Structure 1
């Protein structure tokens, strides 16, 4: 059975990637879907000085859970089995590492996420993932 990774950030582009992954899973007669959201680590020393590590972890989990809500609703409605997870780290590297560590066969992701620069042809995270992985990557516009 194939394993498909779908990184999401709550954007419409990432939801289109979830729909494409559902379709692919159905066409393959089933697949293991891993739906993740990656929270970039807070690097400011001021934040870590005023908030406990536990509070920061809670923040990552809350933000990640919010980013997964719509994707999980689509997946639950489709009936396709999936695993979801909130991961913390440099976004593109964490996506590539997760795919490798979990023996994924394919990454399906949106071309642009919720970043502030919307005029780029491909999002910076998407471009970095393409350069960091040897896996096939299906981009969904």
Structure 2
């Protein structure tokens, strides 16, 4: 049995990580996914200077629910067993501790909505904290979409 950890960071949809899990499930047939939603403190960041904490929480909650719902529905459609856990704290430390405590075989990070610097910074910090293999995925942007 392969135990995959897919962290949901910020409000990123983890489509590429779930697709990767689906491919692995076709190859190994025995896979369990641990979805780890990492929640930052609600008053963290510069956005609180411009918006109320309550408004920020509502918007963040809606975006997070969409990301979690998307991952869960894709896993349900693929008939892949999963468990959802929510945790607070610094992202790399939370991922490393959760992976260790839950005996995960690999961490799969969908960095499609993370900046290149943030994605590489996260992986670099994770490498220092854990010996568990880390897979960093990034979806290719479509030509003409205006994204770089």
User: TM-score, length-normalised on structure 2?
Assistant: 0.70
Q: Do the aligned partners of residues 127 and 113 (structure 1) sit closer, same or farther apart at CA in structure 2, a change above 3 Å counting?
A: farther
Cα displacement string for residues 86-131 of structure 1 (whole angstroms, at most 9, x for unaligned residues): 21111111011000000111111123545xxx35383432332232
Structure 2, unaligned runs of 5 or more = 139-148
State how far apart, in whole Å, the 2-side matches of 1:124 and 1:130 are. 10
Q: Do the aligned partners of residues 7 and 34 (structure 1) sit closer, same or farther apart at CA in structure 2, a change above 3 Å counting?
A: same
Partner of 1:138: 135
Q: Which has the higher contact order (CA 8 A, sep 6+)?
A: 1
State how far apart, in whole Å, the 1-side matches of 2:120 and 2:68 are. 19
Structure 2 residue 19 is matched with structure 1 residue 11: no
1:38-49 maps to which residues of 2 (within 5 A)? 38-42=38-42
CA-based RMSD: 2.9
Structure 1, unaligned runs of 5 or more = none
User: TM-score, length-normalised on structure 1?
Assistant: 0.73
Structure 2 residue 72 is matched with structure 1 residue 75: no
Aligned residues: 127
